[in-house]
Amino acid sequence: MNLGDKKPEKKPLYVYYIIAIVVIFLLNFLVVPMVQEGSIITTDYSTFLNNVDRGNVTDVTVDGDYIYYVAKKDGKQVECRTVAMDDPNLVERLRQAGVNMQEAEPARQSLFLSIILSYVIPIAIFIFLGRWLSKKMMNSMGGDGPGGMMSFGKSNAKVYVKSTSGIKFSDVAGEDEAKELLTEIVDYLHNPHKYAEIGASMPKGALLVGPPGTGKTLLAKAVAGEAEVPFFSISGSEFVEMFVGMGAAKVRDLFKQANEKAPCIVFIDEIDTIGKKRDGGGFSGNDEREQTLNQLLTEMDGFDGSKGVVILAATNRPDSLDPALLRPGRFDRRIPVELPDLQGREEILKVHAKKIKIADSVRFDEIAKAAAGASGAELANIVNEAALRAVRDGRKFATQADFEESIEVVIAGYQKKNRVLSNKEKLIVAYHEIGHALVAAKQTDSAPVHKITIIPRTSGALGYTMQVDEKEHFLMSKEELENKIATFTGGRAAEELIFHTITTGASNDIEQATKIARAMISRYGMSDEFDMVAMENVTNPYLGGESSLACSFETQTVLDKKVVDLVSRQHQKALKILQDNIGKLHELAKYLYEHETITGEEFMKILEAPMPELQQNL
């Protein structure tokens, strides 16, 4: 979330009333007296007596601690004030000077100005605050336009009329299966009579499911772009309101607008916000979210699909959706939008690379191999990072090295140049990473080493070993998984073998090895004792997967023991591989210590070269 975009919290209404009262108080007790006293000249007592003796004073009024008098100055009468003194002769002195002490009183501020300052201005402030608060409340409850309070329940859906965004299927790469399924919807919107002749009806809704960043929203916009029909886009969270019934009203308004602009496409992003399973946990089934869901179910049953209104929705949590939402007649089709394969990643990279300048020598197939498991959004980020790196280096185009470095940035973060390791720590990290690479290289069915580095990254990694498969793998055998566990334990094994101690650098390796070992036994049925019995359930697979054990406590104890045994066996295997290749371990670690980075070609060249004399004092 961008902190810079965070909206300020709304203040309660009483805060503004308190502010208004304070303003009125200040006006009446500070400003008004200042204005009233501003026209009165303050003098000392001796000046007052001199004016009396000279006959310049005509009227005098004693008011508490002050004496107000009217004096003649330059042919004009001015109002003055002085401090009252304990002067018993003052009255006789004033009488002798002929000063009027009875009826005359210094003129005070005019009544008109007093009324304005005391009443008109405070009332005007109250009216202004009231109108402003009323407008803010209407805007927050859907009254953005002239409708005011009558605009409750507006859907506020963004409307893109006839693909003003310009997105077509050609702008979406790597999802050929999804595009093929959606092409039929486009054809129906173009030629509905072709389907009506045979009596076929188009599915009312299609649900796009897949991990984040795979292009579900982009595909929905591309469908509207290809069909050249209006496109309504709204997020599921926009239906959730504080006031009961507002979400249902927004659903009704959305379908009303869609029917008026048919044929069109309605896209509801993150539909799991309002489409979660009803479990009876609300207030007798009448909470706001359930009312919104019930209204959505009713509207999908009620609208006429022959008009050409197609409902598209996207989610990365399909398991949490209510079964009534997924039954035939509502969301008839479930279109998977999975992570792209090798060819798909290459096509996505080419689409995004059209936006930047690149060198002719860039090989997208190699970049796609190194970016295994990346989503479309991550691939777009890789291309952008490559362009940014080229600018930082003062070049006009991105090269192959820029793309390779951008992959590492997305995986492990930027290079942490201000972190300097001590010579001992740097040596330990060098042996640790070579331990991973050497164990991987000496095992069959293991991905080739692509790069080894001991340059710290902003993700916290002090170094890493990158392996890249030559081909795409969709299945993994038991032997391949065991080899991966052994590779993860290779770093710790190298530390034990060379330094006879262990460090905290293997924490992530331990976590990954344990995760694979537990999945082999509890989910993949790769244990003789448990055979093909699932001991673990996984939910939300598109969001990383949340696992929960489905077995007794006694079975969990046995399962934990088998996980420990499996990881321990592979740890011992890694130790034996490193012991058998101790010379190459020293040679490669020395090279990595000196150069900080080794490519896969350099690594294999040193590994396959004849063994030099063992350097004792490394």
Length of the chain: 618
- What would you report as the CA-atom Rg of the chain, rounded to the nearest whole angstrom? 40
Quick: pLDDT tens for 392-432.
Answer: 989 999 999 999 889 888 877 777 766 677 889 999 999 99
* Band of pLDDT at residue 444, cut at 50, 70 and 90: confident
Q: What's the CA gap between 138 and 149, in Å, rounded?
A: 6
- The per-residue pLDDT for 304 is 64
Q: Are the C-beta atoms of 542 and 317 separated by less than 8 Å? A: yes
Share of the chain above pLDDT 90, in %: 21
Range of weakest confidence among 18-27, 137-146, 409-418, 483-492? 137-146
Range of weakest confidence among 318-327, 339-348, 541-550? 541-550
- Residue 433 bears catalytic tag: yes
Q: Which strands sit side by side in the sheet containing 41-42, from one edge to the other?
A: 41-42, 76-83, 66-73, 57-63
DSSP alpha helices (H): ranges in 158-287? 176-190, 192-198, 216-227, 246-260
Whether the predicted pLDDT of 555 surpasses 70: yes
Give the type of residue at 339: L
Output 604 or 284, whichever has higher pLDDT: 604
Contacts of 284 (CB under 8 A, 6+ apart): none
Helix, strand, coil percentages for the chain (3-state, nearest 5): 55, 15, 35
Whether the predicted pLDDT of 87 surpasses 90: no
Global confidence as pTM: 0.67
Output 531 or 204, whichever has higher pLDDT: 531
- The per-residue pLDDT for 390 is 92
Give the type of residue at 6: K
- The per-residue pLDDT for 203 is 76
* Band of pLDDT at residue 80, cut at 50, 70 and 90: confident
* Band of pLDDT at residue 2, cut at 50, 70 and 90: very low
Whether the predicted pLDDT of 326 surpasses 90: no
- The two beta strands, 331-336 and 205-209, are parallel
Of 288, 347, 433, 587, the active-site residue reads 433
Quick: pLDDT tens for 328-373.
Answer: 888 888 889 988 888 889 999 998 998 899 998 899 988 988 888 8
Whether the predicted pLDDT of 284 surpasses 80: no
- The per-residue pLDDT for 239 is 77
Q: Are the C-beta atoms of 333 and 205 separated by less than 8 Å? A: yes
- The per-residue pLDDT for 30 is 61
Q: Are the C-beta atoms of 152 and 142 separated by less than 8 Å? A: yes
Whether the predicted pLDDT of 103 surpasses 50: no
Whether the predicted pLDDT of 491 surpasses 90: yes
Whether the predicted pLDDT of 142 surpasses 90: no
How far lies 200's CA from each of 56, 187, 192, in Å? 109, 13, 10
How many angstroms separate the first and last alpha carbons of the chain?
48
Q: What's the CA gap between 349 and 356, in Å, rounded?
A: 11
Q: What's the CA gap between 117 and 279, in Å, rounded?
A: 62
Q: Are the C-beta atoms of 574 and 354 separated by less than 8 Å? A: no
Q: What's the CA gap between 322 and 327, in Å, rounded?
A: 9
- The per-residue pLDDT for 7 is 44
Q: What value does the mean pLDDT take over residues 577-606?
A: 91
| DSSP helix/strand/coil, 443 | coil
Whether the predicted pLDDT of 205 surpasses 50: yes
Whether the predicted pLDDT of 148 surpasses 60: no
Q: Are the C-beta atoms of 442 and 414 separated by less than 8 Å? A: no
Whether the predicted pLDDT of 494 surpasses 90: yes
Q: What value does the mean pLDDT take over residues 471-499?
A: 91
Whether the predicted pLDDT of 111 surpasses 70: no
- The per-residue pLDDT for 586 is 93
| Whole-number average pLDDT of the chain | 80
Q: What value does the mean pLDDT take over residues 518-531?
A: 90
Residues 356, 358, 362, CA angle at the centre, nearest 5°?
A: 135
| DSSP helix/strand/coil, 61 | strand
